[in-house]
Structure 1
Amino acid sequence: MTKTIRDVISSKGNRVLGISSGATVYQALEKMAENNVGALVVKGSDEVVGIISERDYARKVILRGLSSLNTPVEKIMTTDVCYITPDNTVEEGLALMTDKRCRHLPVLEKGEMIGLVSIGDLVKAQVAEKEFIIAQLENYIRSG
């Protein structure tokens, strides 16, 4: 049985942490640290306008000599956001992340964001699925 993005969200939870586009990068980093996550969804008035990640901070603040205390999130966030649906497979999610070189995918269902998956979430799900298949095959070989 192939795992879907819906399966991943069901097992990890669908809590999505966000921050406003006008918040400072420092506030975003604090929120990431408090929640032990590597990215936040950035919201405009009522919609997703981007994602800010630790990678954005490292490449667009530190290396450019900006200050996280007074740089707004909207200045460094990734605006070209890729999305996935809950009915896509884990393999499709990993292929999309590889192709688009991204590490986080918001999950949309009927235009509404219902979760966020990371590359780590998808790799973990894929490894668990493979381990289950291996155990089933070993059991079949031993009993057959």
Structure 2
Amino acid sequence: MTVKAILEAKGHDVTTVGPNALLAEAIQLLAEYKIGALVVTNGDNRIVGILSERDIVRCLATLGASALDESVKAAMTPKVNICNEQHTVNEVMEIMTRGRFRHLPVEKDGQLNGIISIGDVVKRRIEDAEREAEEIKQYIATA
């Protein structure tokens, strides 16, 4: 199973924010869309960072309430791990586990093409396991 299959099922929509937006605006987007991370993009849809709930907590711990007036650029993670549509679910799980993060932007031709969350990966793995179990049951029943 590949990232392409996951994106075909869930879509390519990604909530993004610019690096110069205020952290308070980014927090509002996270709350409004009930998501855990925003991909930070520049004007031509190129990935320049990612802003997760953890990034925000770290910034708040350092600056207190004044962090809300900081730019997203000040709090984001600038070195973003990415994947492409050809990555397998197992490869994505390995990247996420090794990096200890829950969101992985998908890039195509140098531009943002989607995002995969740990929830997407777990859902796909459960679906695969259930399908395999059903196939084994059918095989045993017909043998």
Q: TM-score, normalised by structure 1?
A: 0.91
Q: Percent identity?
A: 35
Match of 1:24 in 2: 22
Please tell me whether the aligned partners of residues 37 and 53 of structure 2 are also in contact (alpha carbons under 8 angstroms).
yes
Please tell me whether the aligned partners of residues 59 and 67 of structure 2 are also in contact (alpha carbons under 8 angstroms).
no
Match of 2:91 in 1: 92
Q: Which runs of 5+ in 1 are unaligned?
A: none
Structure 1 residue 60: deviation in Å? 2.3
Deviations 1:100-128 (A, max 9, x none): 22221111122222101111111111111
Distance in 1 (CA, whole Å) between partners of 2:69 and 2:108 is: 35
Question: In structure 2, what residue type is equivalent to 1:81?
Answer: V
Question: In structure 2, what residue type is equivalent to 1:106?
Answer: P
Distance in 2 (CA, whole Å) between partners of 1:111 and 1:58 is: 29
Distance in 2 (CA, whole Å) between partners of 1:122 and 1:16 is: 16
Question: In structure 1, what residue type is equivalent to 2:101?
Answer: C
Deviations 1:7-61 (A, max 9, x none): 1111111101101111111111111111111111112343211000111112222
Q: TM-score, normalised by structure 2?
A: 0.92
Please tell me whether the aligned partners of residues 47 and 111 of structure 2 are also in contact (alpha carbons under 8 angstroms).
no
Q: Which runs of 5+ in 2 are unaligned?
A: none
Match of 1:110 in 2: 109
- Aligned residue pairs, count: 141
Distance in 2 (CA, whole Å) between partners of 1:102 and 1:118 is: 9
Of 41-50 and 8-17, the range deviating more from structure 2 = 41-50
Deviations 1:42-82 (A, max 9, x none): 12343211000111112222x21333431111111011100
